[in-house]
Amino acid sequence: MPESGKIEITVQLGKRSYPIRLGSGTLPELGPALQPLGFEKRIALISNPTVYALYGQTVLDSLTRAGFDVTLIKIPDGEEYKNLLWTEFIYGELLKARLERGSCLVALGGGVIGDITGFCAATYMRGIRFVQVPTTLLAQVDSSVGGKTGVNHPLGKNMIGAFWQPSLVWADTSVLNSLPAREFAAGMAEVIKYGVIRDKTFFEYLEKESGPIKKLAPGNLMHIIKRSCEIKAEVVGLDERESGLRAVLNYGHTIAHAVETLTNYKKYLHGEAVAIGMCAEAKIAVKRGLLAAADHERIKALAAAYDLPAGLPDGLISDQDLIQAMLMDKKVQSARIRAVLPVGIGEVRMETLSDSDFYKL
């Protein structure tokens, strides 16, 4: 069921509810879309040189034409700049431009730009509003929605942060045409995750339509982003601060974070590590008798169909190293490793793991 036209999904959070607007070729319409939101005239556009070179002028023109006085702030491209040093740089630019409590920050970029901009918005002048304009698949289906903002600390990734919801998510799917294929595949890992945790029909759609999706057929692209955002919006709406249900979104991530740490964040993109984690956690579920072996095979086959790794690489990481890295994770409670395991396609359950689960993984 390919989708077309413009789509709006609401993240239902009472007074903090906000729309996700999906469309193709909609960047030039961003300015008018911000007008009714009641921001001050002075706003800031935050991006990196890679994304700005592709889409910055279009966005800047649209905002300026809509009457905004825009301060442009660029930070270098890369995860290593999502830190407190560059947060302070952004604060400095905002102060120099005299942005006020009624001002707004616009994040134009992938998850790195979205996370640091959101964190600046959460903390500048005790909190100002911000708008997400996600430009990677991962950001459109995951990081721009849900209000987790933050930066890295030398001692750990995403260790400094805040829950701070955007006022609007404006996703233009046409920008994905310039995304490197490896980045697109990494975003697909999160899309597959939504199928496994909550929607068997969606999983089957991803199996059947891998050809057109990988070719970025507009209708298919719109459908997978829409369904992913619907699932994320539903889960976040029920459990904003991850006191329970929201943890299902971490399927694949317990092992993914350990793999990323053990490979110094260099060998794999986040989504690739998530694909490894989803396949490995499904294998644990099979070993525990919770999941049919055939479903584990389907998850692996789907990851492979989207050019993602389908399990831990042989000999790269020992089970003891994996366990140690997981014990360091911020989600570990009282030295117990908990993970979301699939019990079928479309259904997951939280389980406490033991060392033996990691044997010959």
User: Which H or E element spans position 250?
Assistant: none
Which of 3, 48, 74, 190 is catalytic? The answer is: 190
Beta bridge partners of 254: none
Whether 242 is a known active-site residue: answer yes
Q: Is 54 in the site for ligand NAD (CB under 6 A)?
A: yes
Q: Is 143 in the site for ligand NAD (CB under 6 A)?
A: yes
Is the C-alpha dihedral spanning 96, 133, 192, 188 positive or negative? Answer: negative
Q: For 140-269, where are the alpha helices, taking DSSP H only?
A: 181-198, 200-208, 210-214, 218-238, 253-262
For the chain, the 3-state helix, strand and coil shares in percent, each to the nearest 5, are 50, 20, 30
- From 220, 240, 250, 351, active-site residue: 250
> In this structure, are residues 76 and 45 in contact, taking their beta carbons and an 8 Å threshold?
no
In contact, 251 and 348? CB cutoff 8 Å: yes
The Cα angle at residue 247 between residues 246 and 249, in degrees rounded to 5? 80
For residues 109 and 346, which CB has a smaller minimum distance to ligand NAD in the complex?
109
The reply to whether 253 belongs to the active site is yes
Catalytic one of 74, 129, 226, 246: 246
Q: Which is nearer to ligand NAD, 142 or 230 (CB)?
A: 142
Size of the site for ligand NAD (CB under 6 A): 28
- State how far the Cα of 317 lies from the Cα of 323, in Å rounded to an integer: 10
Q: Which of 58, 83, 123, 158 binds ligand NAD (CB under 6 A)?
A: 158
Site membership for ligand NAD, residue 77 (CB under 6 A): yes
Other C-beta atoms within 10 Å of 340: how many? Answer: 23
d(CA 50, CA 281): 35
- Would you count residue 47 as binding ligand NAD (CB under 6 A)? no
Q: Does 13 interact with ligand NAD (rule: CB under 6 A)?
A: no
83 binds ligand NAD (CB under 6 A): no
The residue type found at 322 is L
The two beta strands, 18-23 and 69-74, are unpaired
| Region from 47-55, 201-209, 221-229, 333-341 binding ligand NAD, contact rule CB under 6 A | 47-55
Stretch that binds ligand NAD, among 97-105, 108-116, 212-220, 329-337 (CB under 6 A): 108-116
Q: Binding of ligand NAD at residue 79 (CB under 6 A)? A: yes
The answer to whether residue 98 is catalytic is no
Kindly give the pairing relationship between strand 69-74 and strand 42-47.
parallel
Interface positions with ligand NAD (CB under 6 A) = 48, 50-51, 54, 77, 79, 82, 109-113, 115, 135-136, 138-139, 142-143, 146, 148, 158, 175, 178-179, 183, 186, 270
Mind telling me the catalytic residues? 126, 148, 190, 232, 242, 246, 250, 253, 257, 270
